[in-house]
């Protein structure tokens, strides 16, 4: 195989690998980050101290349960009990949604908040404890998306790594191939970070109630914090590897030039006309 064909094949493989980098990171984050209850609760826990989230919780509970509980819930969100209730509520909702996505069924997803309310029932007298968190009409679409993410979350990163390794292996100049792969990875990380920022803007713009946008923004930032870290890590690692390859290539080129020039002859050892 000629060097031109090898370089062309290497370029195609590396381009495909770099194209899959942001999609693989996004799918892996959704499949293994959002789908893990403990990680989800840990990411959401700091929001219990966010004033916008507290007001949003009070409004949501009042809309679902009844207007008379609004002042009680608002007062509860200012107490220490709210952090415990917030973690327990997020865990219950996350487990209920995952159970509905994995086990099937076409009924509305509800959460019984009686165990949570029992901790603060002396503060908030709830008329009912069944709260709907996911309508039955959206289950089929979410279930299909979840099944796709479970497969893509594993295979997209693996495919990207295999394509990158194959592109580097078949390249005529592997140093150049590694540099291209590193720069493509950095570009993929930058595109991933841009997608997270654009997604935040679109998510907040589509909200029908502008009052709840600060709370929704805080939740979005908490959920995508890991994804933003991954995007910056991809950019940093990609640029570092590319810079290392460039520096080592320059150093090797300088050494090669010095070696080809040979040692400088000693003028003292040459016979002169006077000596002759």
Tens digit of each residue's pLDDT (9 = 90 or more) over 159-187? 999 999 999 999 988 889 999 999 999 99
Quickly list DSSP for 7-70: HHHHHHHHHHHHHHHHHHHHHHHIIIIIT-HHHHHHHHGGGGG-HHHHHHHHHHHHHHH-GGGH
What's the whole-model pTM score? Answer: 0.76
State the Cα–Cα distance between residues 207 and 216, nearest whole angstrom.
9
State the Cα–Cα distance between residues 155 and 150, nearest whole angstrom.
9
Q: What is the mean pLDDT of each run of 10 residues along the chain (276 residues)?
A: 86 95 92 86 87 79 68 77 82 85 71 59 55 69 82 92 94 90 95 93 79 80 91 96 86 59 54 50
The dihedral built from the CA positions of residue 88, 89, 95 and 99, taken in this order, carries a sign that is positive
| Number of DSSP helices (H) and strands (E) in the chain, helices first | 10, 2
């Amino acid at each position: 195989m000629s060097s031109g064909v090898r370089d062309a094949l290497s370029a195609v493989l590396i381009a495909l690998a770099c194209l899959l980098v942001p999609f693989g990171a996004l799918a892996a984050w959704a499949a293994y980050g959002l789908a893990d209850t403990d990680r989800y609760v840990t990411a959401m826990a700091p929001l219990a101290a966010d004033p916008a989230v507290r007001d949003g919780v009070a409004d949501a509970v009042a809309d679902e349960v009844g207007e008379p509980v609004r002042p009680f819930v608002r007062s509860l969100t200012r107490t220490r009990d709210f952090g415990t209730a917030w973690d327990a509520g997020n865990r219950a909702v996350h487990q209920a949604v995952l159970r509905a996505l994995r086990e099937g069924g076409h009924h509305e997803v509800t959460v019984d908040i009686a165990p949570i309310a029992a901790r603060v029932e002396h503060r908030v007298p709830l008329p009912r404890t069944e709260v709907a968190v996911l309508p039955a009409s959206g289950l089929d679409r979410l279930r299909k998306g979840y099944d796709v993410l479970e497969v893509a979350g594993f295979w997209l990163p693996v495919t990207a790594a295999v394509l990158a390794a194959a592109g580097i292996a078949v390249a005529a100049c592997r140093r150049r191939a590694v540099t291209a792969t590193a720069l493509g990875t950095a570009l993929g990380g930058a595109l991933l970070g841009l997608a997270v920022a654009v997604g935040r803007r679109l998510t907040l713009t589509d909200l029908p109630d502008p009052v709840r946008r600060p709370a929704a923004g805080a939740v979005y930032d908490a959920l995508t914090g890991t994804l933003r870290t991954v995007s910056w890590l991809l950019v940093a690692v990609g640029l570092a590897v590319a810079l290392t390859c460039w520096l080592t290539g320059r150093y090797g080129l300088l050494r090669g030039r010095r070696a080809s020039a040979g040692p400088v002859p000693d003028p003292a050892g040459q016979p002169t006309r006077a000596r002759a």
